[in-house]
Structure 1
Amino acid sequence: MGNLILNEWIKVIRRKATLCMIGIMILFVIGFGVLTKFMDSQTPAPENNNWKQTIEKQLENDRSSLEQTGANNANLKMYYERQIAIKEYQLKQEIPPQNEMHMWTFVEDSQALITFAGLFTIIIAAGSVSSEFSWGTIKLLLIRPLSRSKILLSKYVTILLYGLFFLTILFVLSAIVGFLLFGAPADTVTYLAFANGEVVERNMAIHLAAQYLLSSADVLLIATMAFMISAIFRISSLAIGLSLFLLFTGNTATMLLASKFEWTKYLLFANTNLTVYFDGVPPVDGMTLSFSIIVLIVYLAIFHTLAFALFNKRDIAA
């Protein structure tokens, strides 16, 4: 199995298209850094002398919002309780908000580029099986004394590794570019998280790495769907087109439906943004982290069942 995965990795990395994707990702990060540096120079960070008064004012607004909407919406209640606890902790421990731009704030802003990492992963996933048919190399794979399931699984594992590879490039390069353009923070920066009813301080680098992984859940699911379409229909253009359409429109359409229909919580894109359970509000009242994870697992199981079942039964034309 390890040799199969290594073989798939080498095949993909040797393609000129893959090297172009890596180059484009590097250029995107550098370009985003230069643009952010220019915008930061045009709008200097405001003075932070009266930050306590600002936090106290925000606390008043959060408490008022909790009284008005928290009783009718469990998710909003959880959100405002979290915000109130964090702001009270800031005042008690005298931790001012971070207004200055530094390497970690740039890494956080660079999460906007995860979509491009997902785009490249989807392209690789869409062509993973269909390209074997179009190039006529599928027979060379299937004549090996290995089951079709193992061959297909090795391709899927390689796709996951490439997705992680692009995320790693984005995270590490963002940290490097952020350090070169904005420097390291003057003081130790920690992330204030609300967990198990209390506020805890977490390492910023570890927190951002976790955020990158959580933010890529939709990429994983759509890449899996592209892989399924590639395995079933052998048409990479169909897999790429449908997957990209869902990547760029799925979240927006789901949010519009979520405001009117409760059944939206069972849709794929209502559950892919797992970060809302830590820093935001779920799209539908009553949704929980465990619920979203179960829904995502169900979708993954459906995609894999279709892909493996139909690929194993399909005849390979001469």
Structure 2
Amino acid sequence: MLKLIQNENMKIYYRIGTWVMVILLLIAVIGMGIFVKTTSDENDNWQVAVQTDIKRLQAQKEKTESFKFMNEEVLKSYDRQIEIKEYRLANNIPPLPADSFWGFINESSNLTSFVTLFTIVIAAGMVASEFSWGTIKLLLIRPVSRSKILLSKYLSTLLFAFSLLAVLFLSSALTGGLLFGFDSVSQPHLTYTDGAVKEVGMLQNMIGIYGLNSVDLVILSTFAFMMSSVFRSSSLAIGLSIFLMFIGPQISNLLRNYEWSKYILFANTNLRQYIDGIPFMEGMTMTFSISVLIGYFVIFVSLSWLAFTKRDVTA
């Protein structure tokens, strides 16, 4: 199996396009760093800004309470934000600005969409390219089961995805340190758990953010891989996957008034909604969303396996 994975990795990294993707990601990180550096304003009086935010949140909470059909999760979200800001004032812990070491790493987490996009391109060609290049028969005459061949391709896709994610994190840390210094390295992150505000390590928080952001990465990469295996067309797999990547969340929001919409894939991919936001629908929990995601994952993988192992090959 390790030999198969090594061979698939060689196919990925011997392509010029793969390294173009890595370079584009690095350019995006550096470009974002320069943009933040040149546009950020100094705000020494952060206490006033936090106090203003507290008053604004309290006013919004009172307005929400007056609604006939108010969402309890919205009120809880306001309470969490207010308590965190009050704790920040009481303990003299300033907010994390974008032009700081951890602040920039946090901002760069938005670039996981680039990682997802690039991984979709790789995943879409893992199986389909073997047919378009006419190498599929040479691959299948080896004394190795089709299941192992498919698994090696899928694992290589995930290895590429998380390698690119690691490049994003490390390049963001390096860029953030060089442009903004390391003064905020020891600053804690404030989180609201078990009915109280708690301080946690910023590294732990950032790993959590990048980890939760990678849910889309894994699901969409698996979908593109499935499309590549089922239809043997990389262009179809790339096109449909990118379409769902950008349009899927909007479709989910349009249908959120229907009870069944909570089972839509993109209503569950944003797990950060359970930590620092409002759930897609009242009553939804992280356990529920993870269960739905596992269901979709099993379907995608099963279809990939059936298409690759059961159908006749005609290259």
**Conserved? CA contact 1:191–1:207, under 8 Å:** yes
How far 1:54 moved relative to its partner? 3.2
Residue 100 of structure 1 and its aligned partner are, at CA, apart by: 6.8
Could you tell me which of 258, 262, 273 is aligned with 1:261?
A: 258
Q: Rate the CA distance shift 1:191–1:257 in 2: closer, same or farther, 3 A.
A: same
Distance 1:49 1:244, change over 3 A: closer
TM-score (norm 1): 0.92
Unaligned runs of 5+ in 1: none
From 272, 278, 302, the equivalent of 1:275 is 272
Match of 1:308 in 2: 305
Residue pairs, 1:1-318, within 5 angstroms: 1-40=1-40, 43-45=41-43, 47-48=45-46, 50=48, 53-54=51-52, 56-58=54-56, 60-61=58-59, 64=62, 67-68=65-66, 72-99=70-97, 101-185=99-183, 188-258=186-256, 260-317=257-314
Answer whether contact 1:121 1:223 (CA < 8 A) is retained: yes
CA distance in 2, matches of 1:160, 1:102: 31
Identity %: 46
Query: The residue matched to 1:50 in structure 2 has which SS?
Result: helix
Deviation at 1:103, TM superposition (A): 1.5
CA displacement, residues 45-97 of structure 1 (integer Å, 9 cap, x when unaligned): 35335356436525633653574469842321332232233233224333233
**Post-superposition shift, 1:36?**
1.6
C-alpha contact 2:61 2:75 (8 A) present in aligned 1:
no
How far residue 117 of structure 1 moved from its aligned partner, in angstroms, is: 0.7
Unaligned runs of 5+ in 2: none
For each residue in 1:18-51, what CA deviation from the matched residue of structure 2 results, as whole angstroms up to 9, or x when unmatched? 01111111111111111221112xx333533535
Shift of 1:276: 0.8
Q: TM-score, normalised by structure 2?
A: 0.93
**CA distance in 1 between partners of 2:245 and 2:106 (Å):** 21
Matched residues, number: 315
Farther off after superposition, 290-299 or 109-118: 109-118
* Aligned partner letter, 2:213: S
Q: Distance in 1 between matches of 2:36 and 2:126?
A: 36
Asked if the contact 1:277–1:289 (Cα under 8 Å) also holds between the matched residues in 2, the reply is yes
